[in-house]
Amino acid sequence: MAFFFALVCILISLAIASYVHYSRRRKGKGQGHGGYGGHEKASLKLPPGSMGWPYLGETLQLYSQDPNVFFASKQKRYGEIFKTHLLGCPCVMLASPEAARFVLVTQAHLFKPTYPRSKERMIGPSALFFHQGDYHLRLRKLVQGALGPDALRALVPEVEAAVRSTLAAWDGRVMSTFQAMKRLSFEVGIVTIFGGRLDERRKAELRKNYSIVEKGYNSFPNSLPGTLYYKAMQARRRLHGVLSDIMRERRERGEPSSDLLGCLMQSRGDDGAPLLTDEQISDNIIGVLFAAQDTTASVLTWMVKYLHDHPKLLEAVRAEQEAVREATDGGRRPLTWAHTRSMALTHRVILESLRMASIISFTFREAVADVEYKGFLIPKGWKVMPLFRNIHHSPDYFQDPHKFDPSRFQVAPRPNTFLPFGNGLHACPGNELAKLEMLVLIHHLVTGYRWEIVGSSDEIEYSPFPVPKHGLPVRLWRENRTVERKGCESGNVEDIIV
Ligand code: HEM
Ligand SMILES: *[C@@H]1O[C@H](CO)[C@@H](O)[C@H](O)[C@H]1NC(C)=O
Ligand SMILES: *[C@@H]1O[C@H](CO)[C@@H](O)[C@H](O)[C@H]1NC(C)=O
């Protein structure tokens, strides 16, 4: 339900924004009548689809069922592009690889990122995903640098340490997989940002204040003391305070560093642009934490379920990882970047989990001008939604799409059909880090532990991304390797690779 609530809040805020927008437009053009007229490309027609009731549009239809069913049935009826109307927002939904590429890559300049104001204020208005143009590019280069291959290579030991301590804390207990994975991805986010040099007190302050921000993120925006939103904004201010202190101390010490915070603090930009301000830096730090945590944790949670539900596959993954374990001298030496590059089957399991779970079902953009797509008009100011999940679950691009089958990734998917990390200028710069985290987690999980799911795991909840109900409660225990060793020696890894 949280997801629906979140969506309602997003849509209400979008609705208010677009209402203001349209009433201004109409006044400007001296039009008193309804509809979305006044477009220059008058000969073009709007995409097919139904706009539902006035104002409410088709919002109720969307909420009265699984949103993915809503999108899928629309697609079936109208094809790759169709219009709808959600709480005051006219939208065009796009369900083909070509259309997604049009919006996100080839004509990206015509579609700007769009988020409700309240979310922008909560994360920080200077965070890169709200921007376009020079500022966005400058920030993006910095973030990509700190998350690029060289940086990741150096991060492997930190990621491994975080994975080990997550699993050790879980050992012998029942825990929500999602909660455990959230803690792990927060920890990994922190070492990426601060380079593993943050003291425990600061880390705890950041974690606790950040979790208050999170709780308020999807609540209704208002300024009444005591509400979740209000508390979240207060915690956000404290986060900025903690980050400012850390930056001040770094400046006093004067030592350069190559972690994300260091990159942001030292950036001069092109043509001697001034340094970023503390506000700009902390907005982006909080933005990266936000983008990194629940996304990675949700996919990891699905992976634990998929592996559990496919015992044969799990055995094959275990065999692959046992071979890596041998290469690390039975786990006595640390994992390296090179080891993580020798996990072909596990990597395919990750790709298939990203496809199946499609936790980011779609994204939003807004047309900055009237745009033509295949003879249809996408009017200026309309929201545009590339539907990633529909593409990932379409039999046109993925045979037998509801089957969990990592072997499909032995062949690269067709261009623009596999977009778990988006596409174009705003595509996820954290994708390699997320995959690294998953590889290392799977390595230690399958070579050191056994687990069972507690209760049924067939229902889905939204928190805010889809995850199995209750975050997948799992009992986990360390396996007795003295017994296991004997059984493994006869297994030939090559035979069971899927
Ligand atoms: C499995 C985990 C993840 C998934 C599925 C995911 C997915 C995505 C997607 C789909 C976008 C593009 C959104 C759009 O175009 O509207 C995005 C953007 C972004 N992601 Fe991720 N992400 C993940 C993990 C991470 C991690 C670990 C980090 C950072 C450490 C990160 C940082 C970002 C940032 C900063 C952006 C904004 C980029 C921009 O606007 O230029 N993400 N992510
Ligand atoms: C939030 O950060 C402040 C520092 O500004 C710290 O004193 C406080 O303990 C943190 N809040 C929580 C709930 O931990
Ligand atoms: C592991 O198994 C061996 C052989 O069955 C047994 O002797 C040993 O006590 C077990 N260790 C643990 C920690 O259970």
Q: Per residue in 339-374, pLDDT tens?
A: 999 999 999 999 999 999 999 999 999 999 999 999
Contacts 24+ apart (CB under 8 A), 201-209: 202/242, 202/246, 205/238, 205/242, 206/239, 206/242, 209/235, 209/236, 209/238, 209/239, 209/242
Question: Residue with the nearest Cα to atom 9 of ligand 2?
Answer: 205
Task: Residue 406: name the closest of 358, 460, 445, 356 by CA.
Answer: 356
Ligand 2 centroid, distance to 203 Cα (angstroms)? 10
478 CA closest ligand 3 atom index? 13
| Cα–Cα separations (whole angstroms), residue 167 to 50, 86, 163, 171, 175 | 50, 43, 6, 6, 11
Mutation pick for ligand 2 pocket among 236, 237, 238 (CB with most ligand atoms within 8 Å): 238
pTM score = 0.89
Question: Residue with the nearest Cα to atom 21 of ligand 1?
Answer: 428
Sheet with 365-367: list strands edge to edge: 81-86, 89-94, 383-386, 365-367, 111-113
Q: Per residue in 314-347, pLDDT tens?
A: 999 999 999 999 999 999 999 999 999 999 999 9
Does 461 have pLDDT greater than 50? Answer: yes
Contact present, 86 and 38 (Cβ < 8 Å): no
Does 64 have pLDDT greater than 70? Answer: no
Question: Domains, the chain, ranges and CATH?
Answer: 2-121+360-392 (3.30.43.20), 136-197+257-358+407-496 (1.10.630.10)
| 35-49, 130-144, 207-221, 222-236: segment of lowest average pLDDT | 35-49
Ligand 2 centroid, distance to 278 Cα (angstroms)? 19
Does 285 have pLDDT greater than 60? Answer: yes
Task: Please check if 488 is assigned to a binding site.
Answer: no
Question: Is residue 456 very low, low, confident or very high in pLDDT (cuts 50, 70, 90)?
Answer: confident
235 CA closest ligand 2 atom index? 1
Mean pLDDT of 214-222: 86
**DSSP, residue by residue, 149-180:** HHHHHHHHHHHHHHHHHHHHHHTTSEEEHHHH
Does 490 have pLDDT greater than 60? Answer: no
| C-beta 238 within 6 A of ligand 2 | yes
pLDDT for residue 42: 64
Ligand 3 centroid, distance to 484 Cα (angstroms)? 10
Ligand 2 centroid, distance to 209 Cα (angstroms)? 6
| C-beta 89 within 6 A of ligand 1 | no
pLDDT for residue 270: 64
pLDDT for residue 16: 44
Task: Residue 348: name the closest of 396, 407, 429, 389 by CA.
Answer: 407
Contact present, 83 and 49 (Cβ < 8 Å): yes
Question: Residue with the nearest Cα to atom 7 of ligand 2?
Answer: 205
- Judged by its nearest atom, the ligand closest to the C-alpha of residue 246 is 2
pLDDT for residue 35: 38
